[in-house]
Amino acid sequence: MAGETASQFLPILYPFGLGILSGVISIVLSRILSQRRRYNPIKFLPMECGQIPTGEGRSHFMMQYYSYILMFVVFDVMSIFLYAWAVTFFSIPKEATLPMMGFLGIMFAAMGYALFLSGRKGIW
Amino acid sequence: MGSITPDFRFGNFAGSIVQLVLVVVALLTVLILPIIFFTLFFVPLPVVNGQVLTPYLFFSMMVDPSRTLPIIKFLIHTDYFRAAVFPGFGFSALIAAATIFIERKLLAKMQLRIGPLYAGKIEGIFQLVADGLKLIAKEIIVPSGADKPIFWLAPILFVSTSAAVVSLIPVASGWVVANVNVGLIAIFGILGFFPLITLLFSWASNSKYPFIGGLRALHQMIAFEIPFFLSALPAVILSGSLNLSDIARSQNIFWNIFVMPINAFVFYISSLAELERIPFDLPEAESEIVAGWLTETSGMIFGLIQLGSYLKLYALSALFVILFLGGWYGPQIFPHELIPGASASNISLLKIFGLVGLYNAVTVNSIFWFMVKTFVIILLMLITRGINPRIRIDILLHTGWYKLIVLTFINLFIVLTLIYGGILGPGGMISPK
């Protein structure tokens, strides 16, 4: 059974492999066909609008929306959990919707509280 | 054009071509045909039309075209054909290429420009060929200090991951590369790789603008992935399946968009964000951060990323059609037979042109309607690009978290009310079979 389930997914790999194949072929072809001029030190500098780059390319960068990332980690998983309920919706008894509403209520309350906290200044 | 040498003669040119053709023909007969026969001797061959397909039978069928039809029918029902040509990679790449050209022309007309004009006599239809040649002939510049393996690998992965998304899309009943029971979740799962590839590539380029663009791509995913997931939820409730073909089949009476218009809107908005298109093209905002995460791309690397993103555009438009616009259902406009009476007649020419045994009116009709709907959605996504400015990142996060999630739940409760009110679902007033 496990093998059957896995073999369902096998055809996904065919286009994936074709994509890799076409990508490799086109890049190799481009390497063969394109003319490569002589090295000069300015050519391989990272793009910085004509200036000579200062500092590291991979520096620390302040992203101000850290709280959303924390929320995403939780609620992304919760939103996928809802699919387990949605698929079996008509095969489980009708009363089972009530606990689901409770789950949604908790999810909403938590999300609202998290959004409220994320809007507050001075704690992030 | 200084490349033609002064002693160029057309006769020599034609002669060299004839010589080439002769060499190819000689190689074909001496080497390639025996190799084909040897391999076919060892490979177990399929049964076509009640007899085993030996190489001799294959070649005799090639000579008589009416006998070729069963072979073609057999070939187009193999997994490899589906993956490589029809609903899979080749077809979607063709659609992606057409979309690029249509987008350039359409946006030019919308903005009172002319657009591509010179390549090809009519309206620059060979622009894509010219672009492809240009991209292949350009030098790929890897910036100094870049993480080379990731820098080379990321564009290839971008294309192949998009192709993997396309492989899950059914274009007609049974016409899908991978008929997976959890197709919708699989698509969501594969789409989750794209911000990762973006971030890896931007990290690998060792430059500041790509890095900022990559981080923005991450934020965009964080803002729009949850509404994207939740907007497909009522469609799954109504069909009771995660299989995309089953979701499309559950809409044979009414399209889902009539009961969940809000969700369709949310899905459209979040797929625009997923595709990094205007108004959500923050990761490649030209006016702010040069070209975002694509700043250090050059030559074929840029071409591959372009191809991948348009494959994704096709895949998400097709997903919209499957979830909300009734998949492949539409009025039957194709005739039952291409040539009336062809299958009953004995004339083989009629059978060949009527494609007897190959032509299936229902399937052709399904594919036609699916393509028309997908094309409309692609056009909607293109037109949005022509008329909108870019939004700010805090507005983007605010829209995703405060508005779109709430909207999806409103529509979820509307659908639940309709189900418990006895209108939808099994035993309801309008119940899908």
Average pLDDT, chain B: 84
Is A68 part of any domain? Answer: yes
Confidence at residue B342, expressed as pLDDT on a 0 to 100 scale:
67
Determine which of A50-54, B91-95, B275-279, B319-323 has the lowest per-residue pLDDT on average. Answer: A50-54
Regarding whether A124 and A80 lie in a shared domain, the answer is: yes
> Which residue intervals of B275-400 are DSSP H helices?
300-324, 348-354, 361-387, 393-398
Residue A70 has pLDDT above 90, yes or no: no
Confidence at residue B116, expressed as pLDDT on a 0 to 100 scale:
84
Is A49 part of any domain? Answer: no
Confidence at residue A45, expressed as pLDDT on a 0 to 100 scale:
80
**Residue among A72, A88, A91 minimizing CB distance to B222:** A72
Regarding whether A30 and A72 lie in a shared domain, the answer is: no
More confident residue, B346 or B244: B244
Residue A124 has pLDDT above 70, yes or no: no
Confidence at residue B424, expressed as pLDDT on a 0 to 100 scale:
77
**Residue among A10, A34, A82 minimizing CB distance to B299:** A34
Closest CA to B432 of B232, B170, B249, B258: B249
CB–CB contact A18 B144 (8 Å): no
Regarding whether A80 and A124 lie in a shared domain, the answer is: yes
Q: Judge contact between B352 and B299, C-beta under 8 A.
A: no
Regarding whether A116 and A71 lie in a shared domain, the answer is: yes
Confidence at residue B161, expressed as pLDDT on a 0 to 100 scale:
92
Residue B239 has pLDDT above 90, yes or no: no
Is A53 part of any domain? Answer: no
Confidence at residue B312, expressed as pLDDT on a 0 to 100 scale:
92
What is the reported pTM? 0.86
The secondary element (H helix, E strand) that includes residue B47 is strand B47-48
To the nearest 10 degrees (0 to 180), the angle between helices B148-166 and A2-33 is: 130
Confidence at residue B377, expressed as pLDDT on a 0 to 100 scale:
92
Domain extent for A9: 1-37
Residue B39 has pLDDT above 70, yes or no: yes
Summarised one tens digit per residue, pLDDT across range B286-344 is 788 888 888 888 888 898 998 999 999 999 999 999 999 888 888 888 877 777 766 66
Regarding whether A112 and A66 lie in a shared domain, the answer is: yes
Chain CA centroid to CA B408, Å: 27
Regarding whether A32 and A74 lie in a shared domain, the answer is: no
Confidence at residue B2, expressed as pLDDT on a 0 to 100 scale:
52
Please tell me what DSSP assigns to residue B282.
G
How near does any CA of chain B get to the CA of A120, in Å? 14
Summarised one tens digit per residue, pLDDT across range B131-156 is 888 888 888 888 888 888 889 999 99
- Three-state DSSP state, A75: helix
Determine which of A104-118, B60-74, B229-243 has the lowest per-residue pLDDT on average. Answer: B60-74
Q: Where are the beta strands (DSSP E) in B166-279?
A: none
B219–chain A Cβ distance below 8 A for any pair: yes
Q: Judge contact between B205 and B151, C-beta under 8 A.
A: yes
What's the domain count of chain A?
2
Regarding whether A121 and A66 lie in a shared domain, the answer is: yes
B71–chain A Cβ distance below 8 A for any pair: no
Regarding whether A80 and A24 lie in a shared domain, the answer is: no
Determine which of A79-93, B19-33, B369-383, B413-427 has the lowest per-residue pLDDT on average. Answer: B413-427
Cα(B53)–Cα(B58) distance, integer angstroms: 6
Q: Judge contact between B171 and B328, C-beta under 8 A.
A: yes
Regarding whether A84 and A115 lie in a shared domain, the answer is: yes
More confident residue, B433 or A49: A49
A10–chain B Cβ distance below 8 A for any pair: yes
Number of residues written out for chain A: 124
Residue B23 has pLDDT above 90, yes or no: yes
Name chain A contacts of B139, Cβ cutoff 8 Å.
Answer: 34-37
Regarding whether A87 and A124 lie in a shared domain, the answer is: yes
List all residues 6 or more positions away from B167 whose beta carbon is below 8 Å from its beta carbon: A11, A12, A14, A15, A16, B83, B87, B88, B89, B176, B177, B178
Q: What sign does the dihedral A76-A102-B405-B246 (CA atoms) show?
A: positive
Residue B263 has pLDDT above 80, yes or no: yes
CB–CB contact A79 B229 (8 Å): yes
Is A51 part of any domain? Answer: no
CB–CB contact B207 A10 (8 Å): no
Confidence at residue A67, expressed as pLDDT on a 0 to 100 scale:
77
Q: What sign does the dihedral A29-A33-A35-A39 (CA atoms) show?
A: positive
Q: Judge contact between B262 and B408, C-beta under 8 A.
A: yes
Alpha carbon of B46 to those of B174, B253, B371: distances in Å?
A: 21, 39, 32
ipTM here: 0.87
How near does any CA of chain B get to the CA of A16, in Å? 5
Confidence at residue B1, expressed as pLDDT on a 0 to 100 scale:
46
Residue B74 has pLDDT above 50, yes or no: yes
Q: What's the one-letter identity of residue A120?
A: R
List all residues 6 or more positions away from B71 whose beta carbon is below 8 Å from its beta carbon: B48, B53, B58, B61
Closest CA to B314 of B100, B60, B57: B100
Alpha carbon of B420 to those of A86, B27, B56: distances in Å?
A: 15, 72, 64
Residue B35 has pLDDT above 90, yes or no: no
- The structure tokens 């991948």 sit at B308
